[in-house]
Amino acid sequence: YLGFPAGLSGGDLARRGLAQARRLGAEILSPIEVVGIRRQDPYRVVTLGDGSEISCQAVVVATGVSYRQLEIPNAARLAGAGIYYGAATTEAVLYRDLDVAVVGGGNSAGQAAVYLSRFARSVKVLIRGPDLTATMSQYLIEQMAALPNVEVRPMVQVVGVDGEQQLERATLETIPDGDRQEMEMAALFVFIGQTPRTDWLEAAVLRDKAGFVLSGREVLDGGKPPPGWGTDREPFLLEASVPGVFVAGDVRYRSVKRIASAVGEGSMAVQFVHQYLATI
Ligand SMILES: Cc1cc2nc3c(=O)[nH]c(=O)nc-3n(C[C@H](O)[C@H](O)[C@H](O)COP(=O)(O)OP(=O)(O)OC[C@H]3O[C@@H](n4cnc5c(N)ncnc54)[C@H](O)[C@@H]3O)c2cc1C
């Protein structure tokens, strides 16, 4: 992340951001879950997990994504103890000269495999399909093919994981015949998709099929504003399908999923909040 040439952990970055926001006068309610939002013009009313409500004139939704987990026995127990979700950069160094595996056939899985190959003795990429062409960029497929310690294992799915304190092995099932075999591994890096944390929004704003929040011109239907829009202007760039509700970061449809872009969008959203407040 820009400005930290030696890197820093997510927790550290968040702590610094929190201290800075407090110093600038932000009021932080934590821990608290937002469970709903409704429009009660001119207010947007946010419901909290304890049943209380906050009414305000504008809201920025920045609830991020959660990573899809392996739903097999022992996976939850071994999460963080050999099973990792969504990234490999922090843990890769722990698995120097050991055998590891990556689950998933998308670009994030490919990037992780290439990165892990610099540390691990072997990296097995486990995919359910016959090959990677439909799901991964060609440049990554070529990079992996050129690495002697990376091997793609097609037509398999992980159906079991085991280990005492740490992951030691996984059970793989071949598709379609269902034959099972065990594979020894010190770590399993899982890249099987992300789910936006937007269930709490329900039908309040338009979302895509996966649940990511649409904004700006994405909410227009054939150039027309969404039903109930209620003003004669078009939505601002990061404005959702309800005036005064904005979206920033990973939770936004087609967002980049990087810290710099999430922070940048947050900053843009605040500019649009000011423009919105000037219209009401
Ligand atoms: C392991 C890992 C490593 C990564 N490494 C990098 C990296 O090196 N560089 C990089 O640029 N990006 C990295 N990323 C991606 C980066 O973390 C995200 O792009 C960024 O954090 C997105 O910020 P955000 O504010 O949109 O969402 P988040 O950071 O996910 O923040 C969302 C917040 O909203 C809270 N929340 C969710 N729902 C509710 C609710 N209903 N009520 C109240 N609060 C709620 C969550 O608890 C969370 O605190 C990494 C991601 C992971 C998982």
Question: What are the residue boundaries of the structural domains of the chain, listed by start?
Answer: 31-66+194-279, 69-190
One-letter identity of residue 78: L
Give, using CA atoms, the residue closest to atom 30 of ligand 1.
Answer: 64
Identify the CATH number of the domain defined by range 69-190.
3.50.50.60
Return the pLDDT at 8: 79
Which of 91, 252, 258 to probe ligand 1 with, by most ligand atoms within 8 A of CB?
258
Q: How confident is the model at residue 256 (pLDDT cuts 50, 70, 90)?
A: confident
Question: Model confidence over 152-201: pLDDT tens digits?
Answer: 999 999 999 999 999 999 999 999 999 999 999 999 999 998 899 999 99
Which is it for strands 150-153 and 122-126: parallel, antiparallel or unpaired? parallel
Output phi, psi for 220, to 5 deg: -75, 145
Residue 89 is predicted with a pLDDT of: 80
Residue 10 Cα to ligand 1 middle (Å): 9
Note the pLDDT tens digit of each residue in 28-78: 999 999 999 999 999 999 999 999 999 999 999 999 999 899 999 999 999
Distance (Å, whole) CA 169 – CA 166: 9
Structure tokens at 164: 């005492």
Output the ligand 1 site: residues, CB below 6 A: 1, 10, 33-34, 62-64, 86-87, 89, 197, 200, 249-251, 257-260, 262
Strand partners, 173: 157, 180
pLDDT of residue 174: 97
The bridge status of strand 245-247 relative to strand 59-61 is parallel
* Centre of ligand 1 from the C-alpha of residue 258, in Å: 9
Q: Do domains 31-66+194-279 and 69-190 have the same CATH topology?
A: yes
Domain 31-66+194-279 has CATH 3.40.50.300: no
Distances (CA, A) of 177 to 49, 56, 129, 172, 192: 46, 57, 14, 12, 22
Q: What angle do CA 133, 251, 215 make, to 5 degrees?
A: 100
Distance 8 CA to ligand 1 centre (A): 15
- Residue indicated by tokens 């404005």: 239
Distance in Å, CA 14 to ligand 1 centroid:
10
- For all residues of the chain together, what is the average pLDDT? 95
Decide if pLDDT at 87 tops 80.
no
Atom 13, ligand 1: residue with shortest CA distance: 258
Would the pLDDT of 4 be above 90?
no
This model of the complex carries an ipTM of 0.98
